[in-house]
A and B are shown apart, each in its own frame.
Chain A
């Protein structure tokens, strides 16, 4: 039962262009959505998050959009840089009394070509 889905295993983008990574979820009870970046031999690194009550959050080159009616979120990276090449995980957190549970998607590998 995959509650968080990243349907594109990989994405290739030219340096300087926009990278758009997509994510779909099935549970309307999620409170936060997050994006993590992972390099080989390292743990995931937090990138950006968005509360379920918002539809956009921006941090530098990274913007996350949330469409609750479609249960869809996306990460935009503008402009893309070769150092952005990594695996990107979408995650969703459900908060409950005293704790939380985070579900990750399978990841999208981004290649940024110089």
Chain B
């Protein structure tokens, strides 16, 4: 049974560019959450989606947006990239309220 998958694995962008990260949840999971993890810190909550609707948002600027598709996969978009957006972006899926299953992440480097 496939776990959470994310693409791409690594990405290099320059300041000002836009990026789209993709996530496929575990089959049957309807909730997807996105996190940003910078070196030395824990994952920081960005968004939670359930049944294609945004259900939660962390303290991130409007440059960050996301959406969830009918098949429950999700995309995270970041516009006008800054150097500080360089991080590991993690996607997690869940079928309940207490346990999330994480993907391997996408490593974004902004030059």
Contact = CB atoms under 8 A, between A and B. Distances in A.
Contacts of A41: 104
Contacts of B90: 43-44
Interface string A41-58: 111111001010000000
B43 A42 contact: no
A100 B56 contact: yes
B25 interface: no
B92 to A, nearest CB: 8
B100 A46 contact: yes
Nearest to B101: A46
Chain B contact-residue range equals: 20 to 34
B99 A101 contact: no
Contacts of B101: 46
Contacts of A103: 45
Given A31-B98, A36-B102, A100-B55, 16 more contacts: A31-B97, A34-B98, A42-B104, A43-B104, A44-B43, A46-B100, A46-B101, A49-B98, A49-B99, A91-B42, A98-B53, A98-B55, A99-B56, A100-B48, A102-B33, A104-B45
24 contacts: A32-B98, A34-B99, A36-B102, A43-B4, A43-B90, A43-B102, A43-B103, A46-B99, A46-B102, A49-B99, A51-B98, A89-B42, A89-B43, A95-B97, A96-B56, A99-B50, A100-B48, A100-B56, A100-B97, A101-B48, A102-B33, A103-B45, A106-B40, A107-B41
A-B CB proximity, top 5 nearest = A99-B55, A43-B102, A104-B42, A32-B98, A99-B56
Interface of A: 4, 6, 31-32, 34, 36, 41-46, 49, 51, 89, 91, 93, 95-96, 98-107
